[in-house]
Amino acid sequence: MTLNRAYAEFSEHYGFQIYPARPRKPQDKSLGEIAVQLVQRFVLARLRASTFFSLEELNEKISYWVDELNSRITRTYPKSRTSRFLELDYPALKPLPEHKYSYSKWVYQVRVGSDYHVQFEEHSYSVPYHFANLLVDLRVRDDWLEIIHQRRLIGSHKLNRQRGTSTLKEHLAPNHRYFQDSQPEALIVWAETIGPETLRFVKDNLNLRKDFSTGLKVVVGLKRDVRKGAITPSRLESACGYANSLNILSSERLRSILRNESDLRPNYRRSAPLVEHANIRGAEYYASQGDEPL
């Protein structure tokens, strides 16, 4: 029988054993159910007709009757529950751990990307490069994210609740050291060197995409093509201007613009601000009409 991993960690932290009840064996739970029934009858039943005006008053009364229950000596056993606790359990008790148990949230079977990063919520975290494309488990504890592969810790990061990427230098492959220049902040600085249209296209991909990692890959790919000479900065700036005028974020459509030279055609003009006029209905008007037939 497999234990819930967070529950198993809880038992390890406090040093106790967990013995799950067997399926389809109701007798395994009978003693526990009888104990609950006994407390209900001996304690709660006595208080059902009473009225209490504070939580402290109620707890005081419950504590009194619980002590009475534990001090009872039954006809079938000559010792009370309190005496058996002092005789058997109390000598075996250990002090509580120095640190409180910290609950862990687990996310199982997460695929590491080809860029050796895993995504949790809207942030990407690096792992050593040779774990690319493998399945890992994520453990979130306090303010830390731990990445585990086959029960072995392979990376840990300070938890970041914002969109972006966290990359440790020691995780980078020897031939991928330039990946450090692919952080969102570095990409924005690079886009500024190309031009304002490229800067807008990059910011929109990093900020407006529902899937942050997709937008990040688009920008990293463009930077790589410029670095290799596949795209000149001037052509990229012109194509981004055309894409921005049509609110295009897709990498495929931007490359189509570059390939077909759509931005170089004579009939291409950058969109000017719309003139506000009472006789111009605009997009908001048509959006409000829904699918009703004319």
Each residue of 43-85: pLDDT tens digit? 999 998 899 999 999 999 999 999 999 999 988 888 999 999 9
Q: Which class for 174: exposed (0-12), middle (13-18), buried (19 or more C-beta within 10 A)? A: exposed
User: pLDDT tens digits, residue range 118-137?
Assistant: 999 889 899 998 898 899 99
What does pTM read for this prediction? Answer: 0.47
Mean pLDDT across the chain: 84
What was the pLDDT predicted at 162? Answer: 85
Q: What is d(CA 37, CA 159) in angstroms, rounded to the nearest whole number?
A: 45
Three-point CA angle 66, 68, 70, nearest 5°: 70
Mean pLDDT over 3-21 rounds to 85
Q: DSSP assignment, residue 97?
A: P
Determine contact, residues 136/151, Cβ cutoff 8 Å: no
The two structure tokens encoding residue 251: 């990498």
Mean pLDDT over 264-290 rounds to 58
What was the pLDDT predicted at 283? Answer: 54
What was the pLDDT predicted at 287? Answer: 46
What was the pLDDT predicted at 177? Answer: 55
CB atoms within 10 A of CB 109: 8
Q: Among the listed ranges 141-150, 167-176, 280-289, which one has the minimum average pLDDT value?
A: 280-289
Query: What is the pLDDT confidence band of residue 273, given thresholds at 50, 70 and 90?
Result: low
Q: What is d(CA 247, CA 227) in angstroms, rounded to the nearest whole number?
A: 25
Angle (deg, nearest 10), helices 212-228 and 233-245: 150
What was the pLDDT predicted at 182? Answer: 67
